[in-house]
Structure 1
Amino acid sequence: MQAIVFDDFGGPEVLVAREVPTPEVRPHDLLVRNASIGVNRADLLHRKGAYGRAYFGDADTMGLEIAGAVVAVGPLVRGFAVGDRVMGIVGGGAYAELSRIDHRMAMHVPEGLGLVAAGAVAEVFVTAHEALFHLANLQAGESVLIHAAAGGVGSAAVQLAKAAGARVFCTASGDKRDAVLGFGADVFIDYRSEDFAAVVAQATDSKGVDVVVDFIGAPYLERNVRSLAVGGRMVAVGLLGGAQGATLPMDAVLYRHLRIFGTVMKSRPPEVKQAMVQRFAERWLPALAAGAIRPVIDSTYPLADAALAHSRMESGVNVGKILLLPGAA
């Protein structure tokens, strides 16, 4: 089968298509013929060497999420059969024509959702659900500030927060305003020309928001914390702006009774990732089937053009998910 590999860490140009063996099916595995493969920032880090030559449970090649049709099942699989349309999260090995996935991290694709679109669901919506609800315990009537709201996880988080009845503040570049408002944002903040902390303070009569979901890291930490209301919760999901040089205002943490969480999926044990997938599926698959939430697709590329997909993500211009399509020319 064809897969995307690299011999040396580096830029997008190191990614090449090569014939590799088909994965062996283990007892809990589904073997899936991929129709759609999600591109994630973790893939860029993998390519650059951030994880070394690590093995993440399913393969040492890159790629975290897939959608496609089941072509084989292991003897301990329950609830899935050959021919089923599935989507889910893998521990590596998504960038290929065929991938194996533990059935406990797979979900049935709802009727009415195409397999290409389904490739844009699992990683971003599971991550967004984990941050907003499992960790931050966002409730109807509360307010949330979501940074990088035009990206994959950001666009999913905006939709989930809005569907849950929250007031949603979002940051992104001004050219993405219409898209982010279309996801359900109530207040859009252009991070290039506006101070999000000042906007939040003005819009909340200086009370602050109940939850912050942050992808930026150190440059935003102090303002994030000072934007939280009493009892507020912040979840750190990414470090797009770096991890060094942050100032944590301990007075705000102490006197406002704040909580700060961090979450990352790639390095978590399989049982933890399985629980994350199931929590999302139980709450949100009906909404996905009904069209109340939807995957946001920026662009698609043939599998062999993975380098171009990585270049687009690194440019920062995408709105929503970038997908790879095996078999596309």
Structure 2
Amino acid sequence: MKAIAFEQFGEADVLQLADAPAPEVRPTDLLVRVHAAGVNRADLTHRRGGYGRPNFGDSTIMGLEIAGEVIEVGRDTQGYKVGDRVMGVVGGGAYAELARIDWRMAMPVPASLDYVHAAAIPEVFVTAHEAMLHLGNLQRGDSVLIHAAAGGVGSAAVQLAYATGARVFATAEGSKLERVAQLGADVVIDYRSEDFADVIAKATEGRGVDVVIDFVGAPYFARNVASMSDGGRLVQVGILGGGGQVSVALEEILYRHLQIKGTVMKSRRQEEKHAMVRRFREHWLDRFEGGASLEPVVDSTFALARAADAHRRMESSANVGKIILTMQ
């Protein structure tokens, strides 16, 4: 099969199309002929050496989400058969014509969706649901601040928050604000020209928001805490702007009853990943059927051989929604 390989860590041009052996199908695996694969920030980290070794995860091939057709089923799988259209999260190996997936991490592709749009769902919507609704406990009538709202997880979170019945504040670069508003944000904030903490303080008359979903990290931490209501929940999903040390007065957490949580799917135990996918599937999957309220947001598509260009597109931060690789 054809797959994307890289012999050393580095810039996008280390990614090359190569021949690779088909993955071995284990008892709990589905073997999938991949039609489309999502590109994620974690892939950039992988390519640059952020995980320390090229075979971090379940495969020497990078990539975390796929959509395609089942061509073989392991003896211990349940609910799937050869010919089924599936999408889901893999532990690596998505940048290839064939990939294996634990059947508990797979979901059926909604009938109204093609493979490209199906590949734009698993990683980002599962992550958004886990962070905002499971960990953040967002409820109808709550308010939420979603940073990086034009990105993959951010655009998913905006839609899920709107569908939940929350008031949605969202930050993004100015040229992307109109699209973010179309996805369901009530108040859009240009992070380059506006201070989101000031906007929220004015819009909520000083109360703050119930939930903050942040991908940026240290540069936003103090203002995130200032933007939270009493009893508010901050869920840290990424550190695109930098990690390291942050500080907060313990009295703030104690007397304001604040909760600060972190979540990364890649480092979770497999059983926890199964539960994350199950929670999302049970709550939201039917909302992607034709005419329903949720839509996978696709920014652009690239042929598998152009994986380097797809990475450059993500590194430019020009995308709104998902970047997808397609197999030809």
TM-score by length of structure 2 reads 0.98
Deviations for 1:267-326, whole angstroms, at most 9, x for unmatched residues? 111111111001000000111125311100000000010000000100010000000001
Asked if the contact 1:226/1:252 (under 8 Å) is kept, the reply is: no
Mapped partners of 1:54, 1:308: distance in 2? 20
How many pairs does the alignment contain? 327
Aligned equivalent of 1:20: 20
Aligned equivalent of 1:294: 295
- Alpha carbon RMSD of aligned pairs, Å? 1.0
Aligned equivalent of 1:35: 35
Q: Secondary structure at the match of 1:284?
A: helix
Deviations for 1:188-222, whole angstroms, at most 9, x for unmatched residues? 00000000000000000100000000000000000
Q: Which runs of 5+ in 1 are unaligned?
A: none
Asked if the contact 1:58/1:100 (under 8 Å) is kept, the reply is: no
Aligned equivalent of 1:238: 238
Q: Which runs of 5+ in 2 are unaligned?
A: none
Confirm whether residue 104 of structure 1 aligns to residue 90 of structure 2. Answer: no
Mapped partners of 2:24, 2:275: distance in 1? 24
Aligned equivalent of 2:321: 320
Mapped partners of 1:249, 1:131: distance in 2? 24
Mapped partners of 2:265, 2:81: distance in 1? 27
Output the amino acid matched with 1:121: I
Deviations for 1:82-107, whole angstroms, at most 9, x for unmatched residues? 00000000000000000000000000
Shift of 1:245: 4.8
Shift of 1:125: 0.1
Mapped partners of 1:234, 1:245: distance in 2? 16
Aligned equivalent of 1:50: 50
Aligned equivalent of 2:129: 129
Mapped partners of 1:267, 1:245: distance in 2? 21
Q: Residues 43 and 51 of structure 1: is their aligned pair in 2 closer, same or farther, counting only changes over 3 Å?
A: same
Q: Secondary structure at the match of 1:100?
A: strand
Mapped partners of 1:222, 1:58: distance in 2? 37
Aligned equivalent of 2:255: 255
Aligned equivalent of 2:162: 162
Asked if the contact 1:53/1:60 (under 8 Å) is kept, the reply is: no
Mapped partners of 1:33, 1:209: distance in 2? 44
Mapped partners of 1:215, 1:105: distance in 2? 24
Asked if the contact 1:222/1:249 (under 8 Å) is kept, the reply is: no
Confirm whether residue 270 of structure 1 aligns to residue 277 of structure 2. Answer: no
Deviations for 1:138-182, whole angstroms, at most 9, x for unmatched residues? 000000000000000000000000000000000001100111001
Asked if the contact 1:213/1:237 (under 8 Å) is kept, the reply is: yes
Output the amino acid matched with 2:19: E
